[in-house]
Every structure is written in C-alpha cells, then in structure tokens.
Structure 1
C-alpha cells in the first residue's frame, strides 16, 4: 500500500510486507532532489530491511531516469557507506536526508571517475523513417543515453552521450538489429552507418542531461549552431562539412 510521505521533496512511499517475521520489510520511496545536473533529479530508492535490522545493514537499490547506471551504482555504494556508520540504530531517515544533501557531489565524483562518453554517427538513409526513429529513441531511453537525432536535407546524424558501456551497447544494437528495410521493403540491418567521432566528453562540451531529441534543420547554419551551442564547434568543423558537399 502507499501512504503520504512526510519528506518535503518526496512523492510517495510504498511498503511491501511479505512474512516480515521471516523476510523482513521492503519499501520504496521516490524523492526529487533539486538543482542537480542543472535540473531536478528523481530518485527511486528501494530499501529491504532484514528481520534483524538495524543490527544488519539494509539492502538498497537506486534507480533514476535522469542518471546513468554507473551513477546509480555510485549513489548506492555511498548510501551503504553511510549505513555502516549507523549500524545498530535506525538509519533510513538519515540516509534519505544524506542523499538529498549530497547527491550533486556524488554525481560529480562519479563523472570524474568514469567520464562521460560521446558518439557521433552518420547514417546514409532511412527508408522506414518513422519506425527507425522510434527504435533509436527507445534504445537511447533504455540505455539512458542523451543527445540528438539530427536531419538536415539528406544528412542524418546521431549524437549520443552517456556511459561508455552504454555507448558500446548502442553500437551493437545499431549494427546487429534489423532496424530498416531494403529497396524491396524487407527488414534489414544498418549497413551504411559510419562512426565519425567517439571520444570522452570534455569540460567545454555541454551535457544533454535529460533529453534525447529528434530535430530537423532547414539549413547548414542551423545544424552548425546546434553543435556550437553544445560546445562542439571543433567536432562540427572536422566531420560535418565534408558531408555537405
């Protein structure tokens, strides 16, 4: 069942009782932490309190649509570190307060350790455009990748940012899935994709923190401005002009 949650930044609190005398108690709490990544971040925390809690640490799971898997793992590890400091005393309330106060710091440390990767792809064509676009959006969402799918005339570019492991997973999907159709309308794999650039995001590069957007541009100047706004002027100059010829 769900009950109103007293935390001012929280949306809901859900308890699950399953033979508590044997298995303990599990509950989920969703909190919104403000001013992280230049926006609010919604955290979904799952706590499982074993029968002998608080003498035993709780199991904790962390999920967020705004954070990468690596970042969620880092938040979980930091929460467990804090939990050890409160062993043998009730701790959930303190852990929630701690993550609200320190989430931004944890994410910055995570970025410093893992880095954020960027990938720029060029596609030759899309015959089944609507389905193709929908599939790319789904992959980006599932892998928590952000960026742009860009159309300008006959030019098709995909710019992705996220965990390097997620970037690699995306490339595997792009290369091995039957994502388009051939000239006869039969499903086929993407054979005309080129990797223009794959690199770690630098300090001058803007992060697309929350969104993967599909955008169309009517002129090269508009496309160039998109790159310039993202701090990717050098990448545009090196890789895109040859495609315009």
Structure 2
C-alpha cells in the first residue's frame, strides 16, 4: 500500500491557472518505497479542460515515468468536468505497481537480489477472487475480451457462490489486465447503475513453474461441486494453490 507522506505546493496566477507539486511515497511490487514527484498544472477553465501532468522519480526510468503520466491522463479523461487531482493521486497510490512495466531500481541488497530473481519475460500466473457478478453475461464477455486482447489463457470458474479467475501470460499483460479489472465499469450496482469492481482479491501472483500445466486458451467453466473444481486445479498441477486459497473462501 502507499505511504502517507504527501507534500503539496501551489502556485497561482489569474491568467495561467494553478500548479500543484505533490510528492508521495508509494510501495511497488517489491515492497520498496518509490518517491513520486507529480506536477499538475490546472488551466483557468479546469476541470472542463484536462490538467497538464508531469511525473518524475529518481527510482523510475524515463519510460516508466511516461507510462505513469499516460495512465494518469487516461484516468483524468474519466473525471472531465469534475475536480480530479485528489482522485488521480489516490489512483496512482493504489495502482503504481500495476502501471510500471518492471520493478523500480532501488539500490539496496534486498531489492537488487529480488530484481535479479524476477524474470519479466517468464510466464506468470494470477489467481483472482470476485465476490459477485450482478450483470453476469456482460461481465463474462468483458473478461473474455480482455483475456483475448492481452493474449492471456486460463479459466473463469464458477462454483456455487465462488467466482475465480485464473490467468497465465506475460507479466506485463497480467498487470494490464489488473488495471482494466480495477478501473473499468464492468458490473452494475444494486440499483442497476454501471460500477467498477470493488470486491476483488488477488489471491496469488507468481511465475509459472515447470510442474504447472500451460493453458492453451481461456475458457469459462462452471462446476457443480468443490470436488470438480479441485480436480481442475489438480489437472493443471495446481493442487497446492487450490488447498491454500480456495477452501478458506467457503468459510
């Protein structure tokens, strides 16, 4: 999660708008603190016009800073005509680890070793738990499209009230999937209004091991019993994954 150290400076001019300089500490995938320096220039007709955004960090590459800026601008478009700086800061605090394409460069023994052991081009696996799907048909089609677009294989699994998404693919594409899952209006709330997925848990994210079966496609499957679901995991060499994460969901 993110750190709580936030500093804000403002500069204003009647004809040029306002500039915010914000520094925040955020933890990324290797649990290292990343100091982000964000600059938001709000034009006079903000929020009807998007802010100009600049991103800098001594621990990120120029390309990673560009990725962060691009994603912040994408989010800003979703808040056009409403105040958005606070929302954008909260969003990047929660999603930085999914936005940057590789671990940040932090020069200490622990994280350098972790980075060396992390192979970005290896096949990765992600297991997600969803609390519910109100608009099931639309939700399923959306998940299938994301998996296809990002060349991810695996399963969307239903067993009683349990809903699991198991994905395999390039780590960068899995990160992109998580961003889509967390930021898109993929379901509806109790009143039928489109809403983002807020009841999602990342149960496991790891490299695919030699004993794990590689899925050849993405499929939607329903199971009538827990035993059927368990056999699906066992057939894929994922018995340990099942026993660690799935039975607790029934409690």
Give the shorter-chain TM-score range: 0.5 to 0.7
Per-residue deviation, 1:212: 0.3
Q: Secondary structure at the match of 1:114?
A: coil
2:234 is the counterpart of 1:234: no
Cα distance, 1:191–1:113 mapped onto 2, change above 3 Å: closer
Instruction: Give the TM-score normalised by the residue count of structure 1.
Output: 0.53
Corresponding residue for residue 173 of structure 2: 166
- Any idea what the Cα deviations from partners look like across 1:11-67, whole Å, max 9, x if unmatched? xxxxxxxxxxxxxxxxxxxxxxxxxxxxxxxxxxxxxxxxxxxxxxxxxxxxxxxxx
- Any idea what the Cα deviations from partners look like across 1:187-240, whole Å, max 9, x if unmatched? 00000000000000000000002x100000000000000000000000001000
2:143 is the counterpart of 1:140: no
Q: Does the CA-based 8 Å contact 2:154-2:167 persist in structure 1?
A: yes
Corresponding residue for residue 156 of structure 1: 163
Q: Secondary structure at the match of 1:119?
A: strand
Q: Which runs of 5+ in 1 are unaligned?
A: 1-111
**CA distance in 2 between partners of 1:122 and 1:113 (Å):** 24
Corresponding residue for residue 217 of structure 1: 223
Q: Secondary structure at the match of 2:213?
A: coil
Corresponding residue for residue 108 of structure 1: none
Corresponding residue for residue 122 of structure 1: 129
**Runs of 4+ displaced beyond 6 Å:** none
**CA distance in 2 between partners of 1:193 and 1:205 (Å):** 24
Per-residue deviation, 1:244: 1.9
**CA distance in 2 between partners of 1:239 and 1:127 (Å):** 24
Q: Does the CA-based 8 Å contact 2:157-2:220 persist in structure 1?
A: yes
**CA distance in 2 between partners of 1:117 and 1:194 (Å):** 17
**CA distance in 2 between partners of 1:113 and 1:187 (Å):** 35
**CA distance in 1 between partners of 2:194 and 2:243 (Å):** 35
Q: Does the CA-based 8 Å contact 2:128-2:204 persist in structure 1?
A: yes
Cα distance, 1:165–1:113 mapped onto 2, change above 3 Å: closer
Aligned partner of 1:190 among 178, 197, 201: 197
Cα distance, 1:167–1:113 mapped onto 2, change above 3 Å: closer
**CA distance in 2 between partners of 1:113 and 1:178 (Å):** 29
Cα distance, 1:200–1:207 mapped onto 2, change above 3 Å: same
Larger Rg: 1 or 2? 1
Q: Secondary structure at the match of 1:196?
A: strand
Q: Secondary structure at the match of 2:168?
A: strand
Q: Does the CA-based 8 Å contact 2:183-2:197 persist in structure 1?
A: yes
Corresponding residue for residue 202 of structure 1: 209
